[in-house]
Amino acid sequence: MAHRGGPCLGRPGVAPRTAPVPVRIGPARTAGLLPGLLGLLLATASPANPAAPATDTDSPTVTALAGQREWLQLLHYTPSWLPGRLRNFVDDPDFFLSPRGEHDPAAELAATLDALRRDPATQCRFPARRQWLVARLPGLAATLPPAHCPEYEEWRRVLAVREAVLVFASSYLNSPSSMYGHTFLRFDSAAPERRTPLLAWALNFGATVPPDENGFVYAWRGLFGGYPGQFAAGPYFEKLREYSRLESRDLWEYRLNLDAAELDRLLAHAWELRAINFDYYFFDENCSLRLLELLDVARPGHDLADQFPNYAIPIDTVRAVIDAGMVTDVTWRPATRSTLRWQIAQLDAGERQLARRLADDAGAEPQAFAALEPARQRLVAEVAYQYLRDRAVHAVPDAALARQNFALLQLLERTADAAAPPAPPRPAAPETGHRTGLAALAAGTEESRAFGDLEWRVSYHDLLDPPAGYPAGASLNMARIVARLKEGGTLQLQRLDALEITSLAARDRFFRSWSWRVNAGLERQWTAGDDILVTQANGGFGGSWAPLPSLLLFALGTGRLEANHALDRSLDLAPGLAAGLRLESPAGITLASADYYHFTGGEDRRALALRHELALGANLGLRLQLERRVNEHDRVDEASLALRYHF
Amino acid sequence: MKRILMVAALMGVSAGALAEAPGGPNCGWGNMLMNGQSGLGAHVVASLTNGTSGNATFGMTTGTNGCSANGKLTYGGKSLIGAVMDEFSEDVARGDGEALTAVAVAMGVDEADRTAFKQLMHDNFATLFPSADVTAEQVSERVVELMRGHEQLARYVS
């Protein structure tokens, strides 16, 4: 048995009460032939009787088998906080054959043996359990009634799975459940008529919504977690449309080296999870964990899911799969908009203007278009067409749009004999980016007094962290805490961020993207001469511009709610403005920002900050911070140097 | 026949909100272009939850793709074109692409003949897509007609 310590392992404390207690798993007609322990057990079993008494939960065989890691994984048990008790994310009585099954692996195993023997439909419903038990109990197969499983067999036949691919959809800040990215599995078919990625199947874990749900209820429950999570299968091209086209998210495809037997186990188990409800927590995105559980069933021994006892950031689960040696190669599939942005960047100013005009009117400036080289014509037509398609995603469809679309499609066709535009260069793969945890040590001065900071951040990435592998202009941080030791020996909580998200998307002739940020938590504010720990939430909304590829300027209208007893109003609101720039250069990343707030109680607050990070490695950085904060009573200068380690 | 069944089964899964053709039985190209957009609200929430809408969530329901209302295929590839019409039309215009490959694969066209298939489709772009009103059914029929008239590709549709 490969199981590890902890309270989840079946019932480790339960020893057999007496010498052999028979487990009745079926008619004894083959009993004499059965080897091993089971043979002994069967030999003492009662004669055939469809309504035979239940298999004894406490029998040594059942107890031993039910404690095995693989059984626990098949039933999705995980350790709970309560010692001796198991948790189960499956929230569905249909998945358990014993009324106690949700928390009792032995009862579930006994009930499964009973049901398999009693009812052929159980074999069709739980092919992976059947397969596992038959392999562990050499005599079991002969005691099972013949079963025909046309539905399951048809499903397997249609899928005809040849290979499995783990797909990572990159971070999508506009959706809380996808901020950290998303993963799902793709099954590539062996059938000649399906042997191309678009016709592969995707197996996805996500919230499941009833077909005729009211829109408002849908939004409400979608946000606040009213829907159960289920596995769902569908064509990969639908996933591509969803992620690549509608949400502009790059996909990374990690080909897995699962062999036929492993794929067989995976699919048999996936079938058991059909229409089974799991608990689904909205912010606690657990799709990636569910997939690891499937891979654990496919290839026992790595215990991938156990590596994530508390939470699973999707890219970390991808790393775990890579570290387990399960990935053979990685393919990048740029989002439609990633390709489009790159193509736009290949155009000169005149071509850019022309493409933009053609997107509005396919017949615009025929002479200027005709004057271009054929390859440039093709690129301009490609940009105009894809840009209109991109805009159409967010537009109300009408006949005029369809006509314009069609005209650009014809233009695309007329220019297609020229050389195809080169493919955009592949960016750093997300798993090569810095790790998602962070610890930092800083030394500095505040008001000419020295201090030392200790920082810990659960996740994920900010605007100065090494950018490779992460979406540009995005900052997403949860659970960040900074403790400060001040000269003189005072130790204080300096900062506690529950949440910080910034999304800076450059606006240009083609994309009128918005930039925004939100942040909530505790922080220090000098107020009326005192260093006060305040509770605050703030947000901003505005625009960003990129005059150079490496330079981003931003300006936001902001608002702030602060609980601070030293303010004239101890709970006060402050509208404000923020502006800044972010520059990437060979010397590192620089972020300069200015913030202004005016509280309704009268106080003005200004802050200027200059931060610079020099990457010392993929997971190590040196960060310099200079900050000046000014209000009516205080002018506080702070400077610090931090060594930051991502783990 | 086996091939047709497979394609039918493959195409049957489109209960997701994202796959519903907004035009219902009237699923001309103009409407297909808008695939997913009229359901933008639904899409937003689907993306909020990584969700799936509908009860046919395991690929086991045979049915329609929202375009061919009767859901019965008379030849392979037909429903597929309905489902990926948007991508297919782009690929035909360009003369290459994954959607064009997918239709070739679903039609059973061997790898050795796929270049000819793509060229044939591209050369006949105006036949396949004469106007913004063309339906997936018409496109599918023309794909088959073009293949029938092609020496190398006729065997796949006989």
DSSP string, A246-257: IS---EEEEEE-
Question: Hey, which of A164-178, A521-535, B37-51, B81-95 has the most confident mean pLDDT?
Answer: A521-535
Q: Which residue of A has its CA nearest to B40?
A: A394
Residues of B whose CB is below 8 A from A205 = 50
Test the B interface: residue of A193, A379, A385, A417 with most B CBs within 10 Å: A193
* A474-484 residue pLDDT tens: 999 999 999 99
Q: Are B85 and A406 in contact (CB under 8 A)?
A: no
Pairing verdict, β A77-79 and A86-88: antiparallel
* A282-331 residue pLDDT tens: 555 578 889 999 999 999 999 999 998 877 899 999 999 999 999 999 99
Question: Hey, which of A16-25, A76-85, B19-28 has the most confident mean pLDDT?
Answer: A76-85
pLDDT at B38: 35
How buried is A282 (Cβ within 10 angstroms: 0-12 exposed, 13-18 middle, 19+ buried)? middle
Helical segments of A303-346, H only: 314-323, 336-346
Test the B interface: residue of A187, A198, A227 with most B CBs within 10 Å: A198
- The structure tokens listed for A365 are 């400036």
pLDDT at A521: 97
Mean pLDDT of A409-415: 96
Q: Are A166 and A300 in contact (CB under 8 A)?
A: no
A366 to chain B, closest Cα gap in Å: 20
Which residue in B15, B59, B108 is closest to A211 by CB distance?
B15
pLDDT interval class at A222 (50, 70, 90): low
Contact criterion met (CB < 8 Å) for A230 and B57: yes
Residue in the block written with tokens 């271009």: A372
pLDDT at A225 over 90: no
Q: Does the pTM exceed 0.90?
A: no
Which residue in A155, A206, A396 is closest to B49 by CB distance?
A206
pLDDT interval class at A26 (50, 70, 90): very low
Give chain A's mean pLDDT.
87
List the 147-186 stretch of A: residues with Cβ below 8 A of B: 151, 154-155, 158-159, 172, 174-178, 182
Contact criterion met (CB < 8 Å) for A213 and B53: yes
pLDDT at A102 over 80: yes
Q: Are A184 and A207 in contact (CB under 8 A)?
A: no
d(CA B128, CA A445): 72
Contact criterion met (CB < 8 Å) for A196 and B90: no
Q: What is the 3-state secondary structure of A510-575?
A: CCCCCEEEEEEEEEEEEECCEEEEEEEEEEEEEEEEEEECCEEEEEEEEEEEEECCCCCCCEEEEE
List the 370-399 stretch of A: residues with Cβ below 8 A of B: 385, 389, 392-397, 399
Test the B interface: residue of A168, A238, A243, A333 with most B CBs within 10 Å: A238
Secondary structure class of B152 (helix, strand, coil): coil
d(CA A482, CA A634): 22
What interface predicted TM-score (ipTM) does this complex get? 0.82
* A246-271 residue pLDDT tens: 888 999 999 999 999 999 999 999 99
Residues of B whose CB is below 8 A from A149 = none
Of A48, A40, A1, A9, which is closest to residue A22 (Cα–Cα)? A40
Q: How many helices (H) and strands (E) does chain A have?
A: 18, 21
Mean pLDDT, contiguous 10-residue spans, chain B (158 residues): 35 31 34 37 44 44 33 39 86 95 90 96 96 86 92 89
pLDDT interval class at A54 (50, 70, 90): low
pLDDT at A214: 64
Mean pLDDT of A406-412: 95
pLDDT at B62: 34
Q: Does A222 touch chain B (CB under 8 A)?
A: yes
Which residue in B94, B96, B107 is closest to A412 by CB distance?
B94
pLDDT interval class at A218 (50, 70, 90): low
Q: Does A208 touch chain B (CB under 8 A)?
A: yes
Amino acid, res. A285 = E
pLDDT interval class at A207 (50, 70, 90): confident
d(CA A197, CA A194): 8
A237 to chain B, closest Cα gap in Å: 8
Residue A309 half-sphere exposure toward CB, CA atoms < 13 A: 7
Lowest mean pLDDT among A128-132, A135-139, A374-378, B47-51: B47-51
d(CA A221, CA A208): 11
Of A28, A414, A486, which is closest to residue B95 (Cα–Cα)? A414
d(CA A242, CA B38): 14
Q: Does A331 touch chain B (CB under 8 A)?
A: no
Task: Identify the residue with better confidence: A539 or A312.
Answer: A539
Residue A425 half-sphere exposure toward CB, CA atoms < 13 A: 4
Residues counted in chain A: 647
pLDDT at A455 over 90: yes
pLDDT at A35 over 90: no
pLDDT at A55 over 60: yes
How buried is A211 (Cβ within 10 angstroms: 0-12 exposed, 13-18 middle, 19+ buried)? exposed
